[in-house]
């Protein structure tokens, strides 16, 4: 990781079943049901981003224990979230 603060990404950002007020950050067109850390990790590897998994949870959904990713990238957080959301949709279409 670089000296820049990493971007923290939670699976809840992409969860179709959550409202925006409960933590979803992407539009429903980019959301999937029950996103997994492994899927996000695969997408980040394809984007050649440095990242680490973490056991910290989204504050609005802490009982679910989904974890998070700390990502080192030149993209803004918004760009990264939308890129991952689109990638998750495509990943789920092919599986």
Dihedral-angle region of residue 66 (phi above 0 means left; psi in -120 to 50 means alpha; beta otherwise):
alpha
How confident is the model over 74-91, as pLDDT tens digits? Answer: 999 999 999 999 999 998
User: pTM for this structure?
Assistant: 0.87
Output the pLDDT for position 60. 72
Output the pLDDT for position 63. 67
3-state secondary structure 1-49: CCCCCCEEECHHHHECCCCHHHCCCCCHHHCECCCCHHHHHHHHHHCCC
Output the pLDDT for position 35. 93
Output the pLDDT for position 4. 79
Locate 83 and state its tokens. Answer: 């890129």
Output the pLDDT for position 95. 57
- Judged on CB neighbours under 10 Å (0-12, 13-18, 19+), 48 is exposed
Output the pLDDT for position 3. 55
Question: Hey, is 76 helix, strand or coil?
Answer: coil
**Residue ranges of the chain with pLDDT lower than 50?**
none
DSSP 64: G
What the chain holds in terms of domains, given with CATH numbers, is 7-94 (3.30.56.30)
Give yes or no for a contact between 29 and 51, defined as CB atoms under 8 angstroms apart: no
């Amino acid at each position: 990781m670089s000296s820049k603060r990493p971007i923290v990404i939670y699976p809840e950002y992409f969860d179709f079943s959550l409202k925006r007020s409960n933590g979803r950050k992407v539009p429903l067109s980019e959301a999937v049901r029950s996103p997994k850390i492994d899927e996000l990790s695969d997408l980040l590897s394809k984007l050649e981003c440095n990242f680490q998994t973490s056991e910290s949870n989204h504050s609005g959904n802490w009982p679910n224990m989904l974890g998070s990713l700390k990502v080192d990238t030149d993209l803004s957080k918004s760009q990264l979230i939308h890129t991952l959301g689109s990638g998750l949709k495509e990943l789920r279409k092919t599986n």
